[in-house]
Amino acid sequence: MDFASLLLLAGLGLAVWFWLHSLRILEIARYAGRQVCERAGVQFLDDTVASTKLALARDANGRRILRRTYRFEFSETGNSRREGEVIMLGGRVETVTMEPYQILE
């Protein structure tokens, strides 16, 4: 096997690893969005989150790590759609925010 083939194989392996790792992080973000909606007593719409941003950031130890931002939608009445955001720093949830909404009794 020549060097170019080895380099191509390593690049392909890295791409597959990144894709699988991203799917795992997506599932963690989806779970976080669903949990926040359940605690707030609102509907987590479409049972999904959508990736909106990917950037490098530093963690608490100063290491460079990927910060991924995901958007989700929720509804307090079933008739409206509001947006929320999950920010993941590496494999952990950094923050979850939700648009202001009316609390129904």
Q: Is residue 38 part of a domain?
A: yes
Structural domain for 44, as ranges: 3-98
DSSP tally for the chain: helices H, then strands E? 1, 5
Q: Is residue 103 part of a domain?
A: no
Tokens of 26: 């997506």
Tens-place pLDDT, residues 65-92: 999 999 999 998 888 899 999 999 999 9
pLDDT computed for residue 105 by the predictor: 64
Q: 48, 68, 72, 43: which is closest to 57 by C-alpha? A: 68
Q: Considering its fold, how many domains does the chain have in total?
A: 1
pTM: 0.86
Q: Is residue 104 part of a domain?
A: no
pLDDT, the chain, mean = 93
